[in-house]
Chains A and B, each alone.
Chain A
């Protein structure tokens, strides 16, 4: 975790598989992830549609399918904040923030570790059951979000481009 905090930039290709009871079949999304320590994370989906999702300090910007971008404050949306910090604090190695929002379980070894986050607060835990983050050394290789009710989303980080 501490070493993760020393990584200051990151760029990676991702592939995300969404399993939703609302959908007939899983949907695969592809795009890029960017990270600038300690607080800027950008997720840019390229297919099947374009979405830009930027978390910077306390604001979130969502730009979807050529529409006017929506910007809102993380403080206005405590649930989204908890959700966002699940990735961002992990990327930044910010254990303190993580433990404020989640029950954290760390297992495995340096080459292949696994971090399980279980939301502490009611409003968040009514939607998200747990977040599983897997990695090797300072790299994160996979993030899986398990929602209450069985839906889930698995983000695999394919290649780390520095």
Chain B
């Protein structure tokens, strides 16, 4: 094995590594858009749900609190902070309660008050009503604070501007102190900021958050002032950072432990380094493959994928542990390759089903696993033997514990897998609760303390904690607003009947053009207005001609063009409106968030009677949980297909159905056993557990296949048992470390896989090949089960 032929695999490998490195460094874009891991929406409501999770205005809200100092210092810090944040241009709006609207916005509301005010109805400008309004204005003018109320009097004697601006300001506002918002106990100054960046753009969100921190550091009046932040993006960035930190810490720890273990076993640094080669190649190739096919890779795929490919560390372990003293690595490889090949193929096929997933995240993960595992196996097969030709391995000394003796003891428990399967099945049948985690909130890495803080701030700020809402679809803004108006009319009745305490609707701020025209029609003509004004002011001391501006404004309003949402663009009013009324594809959507839903059945019944495909009642929490459940169900379906494919490959690749059965039995028992153990220990299963189960299945197949090889000598059985013990030990180390993580995702994968690996090792040992058969005198050819196909 010298010369070009033997070096060819190395050259090919290096060339491919070069290409992959180039692809990864030049092409790979790691994205963090969580919605890649959300299912493709099946209807407009789900579509909207996903869109709202991605870019919804509520998702971009950051709640800010300042605490720890006297209220005056907090108020001054709040004012300085707002100025800096507004100047940063990173926010659609920032508010601490200082001024509701800018002069431009005030002017917009003032100019259009007769179209926007809900008080403009027929009779509003009749003599009696007008007289009452004017008397009320006179008293205000003569009052102690009259100086502040007089400037709009000649223009707006019926107070429409005040009505409109109060309505836009919203009903629920925090109390104010020293001119800014404060919590009820007066200990926290409160601010609201809406980021321009969508919540899924974690990079931009991280920049935005760090900007808040620097702005705060510059604004804080004393050292004592503390900054408290909350909101979806704050959580997302914190979660990312904590997962990142934890992954880094745990991975380093796991790699260190595995290195110590392998060094102890092989006593060779070179062997240790060679063990890492297939793994690294696999990850690199996998990432390059995913970037080439998908154009980018999701950070979750990357994290998961690295774990999945981590199993590839078993391949070189098989090579080194099966090598006899003085044997050429290449001939060891030839000996174990058929089994290893089958193991890799079945595992890879398990992931093939994921390729067909509707969720980009899952298909990326499938591709990453397949490419990674296969290239790791190929490196082990063709590259490692060349590189390790001079690497020494030692035959295990006789004085060491003979593992095969333990295995032979375990063989007496051949019935154990069947027991696991039967007991597991009975357990599942009689399980009195759903095995699935149905509340996605429990998967979030956010601590209960932070969730409580978020709720408290939200309640104080009156920020929408939108959970229950009506969604109205329409073909145009006008159509949608008209529907929203009709819905609001009914909802008002529900409020009166105390089925709910309140609601918001875009049509309250932005009436439909039809309604604006109705209001125009309710405005009197110039002649009639002058006549009623004369009568209404007869006994009042107002100067003659004082109300000319009023007459002029009403006359203008009668014929002015109705407003549309576009007229509010670029203002804080527009921002507010666009969170309730927006375009989605070719449709328009109006959101009517509900407050204090007391009688949900009444609402639900009404909606079902309505039978209008354009109006939907939605409980966001329930719906997003359903969405996640659908996602999980699809993943489960894919796993079933994967399992079927694995069975097929095993039937084709193994010498007898007996062997197939033995392998499958141990794997199935291992998987069922893990699930049962998880449930017994009160864990609920999530998508992450499913992915980990696929991992367990792959590991179990590997053990089962190797335990069922045909051996020629007892020493080879010992070597296999040793190899599997080392494999299982590394798996236990890596995933055991993950299992101590407090991040639900890592914990789920760690616990499941570590438990699964040990179960599969024991169970596959109980079902390992009968040594009395394996020592039968077959030919001196490859001693693999596959090759012995014909002899059975």
- Residues of A bordering B, CB below 8 Å: 18, 20-25, 27, 29, 43, 45, 49, 51, 53, 62, 64-65, 73, 75-80, 83, 127-128, 145, 147, 151, 153
Q: B144 an interface residue at 8 Å Cβ cutoff?
A: yes
Q: How many A-B residue pairs have CB under 8 A?
A: 69
Q: Which of B549-602 contact A (CB under 8 A)?
A: none
| Contact assessment for A73 and B146 in the assembled complex, using a CB-CB cutoff below 8 Å | no
**Which one, B16-24, B170-178, B351-359, is touching chain A?**
B170-178
Known: A22-B546, A49-B139. A27 touches B541 (CB 8 A): yes
Would A151 and B147 count as touching, CB distance under 8 A? Answer: yes
- Once the chains bind, are B147 and A128 in contact (CB under 8 Å)? yes
Partner of B143, one of A24, A53, A75, A145: A53
Return chain B residues, CB-CB under 8 Å to A75: 176-179
Minimal beta-carbon separation of B39 from chain A (angstroms): 48
Assembled-state Cα–Cα distance A27/B543 (Å): 12
Chain B positions within 8 Å of A128 at CB level:
147
The reply to whether B179 and A76 contact each other, CB–CB distance below 8 Å, is yes
**165-191 of chain B: CB within 8 A of chain A:** 175-179
Residue numbers in A under 8 Å from B144 (CB-CB) = 43, 51, 53
24 contacts between A and B (CB under 8 A): A20-B150, A22-B153, A22-B154, A22-B542, A23-B141, A23-B542, A23-B543, A24-B541, A24-B543, A29-B142, A43-B144, A51-B143, A53-B143, A53-B144, A62-B143, A75-B176, A75-B177, A76-B179, A80-B145, A83-B145, A83-B147, A127-B147, A147-B147, A151-B147
Q: Check B147 against A76 for contact (C-beta < 8 Å).
A: no
8 additional contacts, CB 8 Å, given A128-B147, A151-B150?
A18-B146, A22-B141, A27-B541, A76-B179, A77-B148, A79-B148, A127-B151, A147-B147
Chain A residue nearest to B153 in the complex (CB): A22
Q: B544 interface residue, CB < 8 Å from A?
A: yes
Chain B contact patch, size range: 20 to 34
User: What are the residues of chain B within 8 A of A62 when measuring CB–CB?
Assistant: 143, 145
Q: What is the chain B residue whose CB lies nearest that of A51?
A: B143
Chain A residues lying within 8 Å of B154, measured Cβ to Cβ, are 22
Contact, CB under 8 Å: A78 / B179: yes
Is B147 a contact of A21 with CB atoms below 8 Å?
Answer: no
Question: What's the Cα separation between A58 and B179 when bound, in Å?
Answer: 12
Contact of B139 among A24, A43, A64 (CB under 8 A): A64
How many angstroms between the C-alpha atoms of A10 and B140 in the bound complex? Answer: 26
Select from chain B the residue with minimum beta-carbon distance to A80.
B145
Q: Of B143, B147, B176, B541, which is within 8 A of A73 by CB?
A: B176
Which B residues touch A127, using CB under 8 A?
147-148, 151
- Residues on B with beta carbons closer than 8 Å to the beta carbon of A18: 141-142, 146
**A100 and B46 alpha carbons, distance in the complex (Å):** 57
Write the chain B residue with the least CB distance to A23: B541
Task: Please name the residue on chain A nearest to B75 by beta carbon.
Answer: A75
Q: Which residues of B contact A153 (CB under 8 A)?
A: 146-147
User: Considering the chains assembled together, what is the distance between the CA atoms of A95 and B722 in angstroms?
Assistant: 92
Which residues 524-560 of B sit at the A interface, judged by CB distance below 8 A? 541-544, 546
A32 CB, min distance to chain B CBs, angstroms = 13
In the bound assembly, the distance between CA atoms of A138 and B731 in angstroms comes to 90
Give B150's nearest chain A residue, CB to CB: A22
Within the assembled complex, what's the spacing in Å between the Cα atoms of A45 and B141? Answer: 13
Query: Are B541 and A51 within 8 A (Cβ)?
Result: no
On chain B, the residues within 8 Å of A79 by CB distance are: 148
Bound CA span A23–B138, Å: 9
Query: Complex: how many Å from CA A31 to CA B544?
Result: 29
Provide the bound-state CA to CA distance between A18 and B541, in Å: 12
Least Cβ–Cβ distance between B135 and chain A, in angstroms: 8
Docked CA distance A77–B543 (Å): 29
CA distance A20 to B543 in the complex (A): 9
Quick one: which of B143, B147, B542 contacts A64, CB cutoff 8 A? Answer: B143
Q: Find chain B residues with CB under 8 A from A21 CB.
A: 543
Nearest CB of B to A3, in Å? 26
Q: Which residues of B contact A65 (CB under 8 A)?
A: 139
Question: B3-17 vs A: 1/0 string, CB under 8 Å?
Answer: 000000000000000
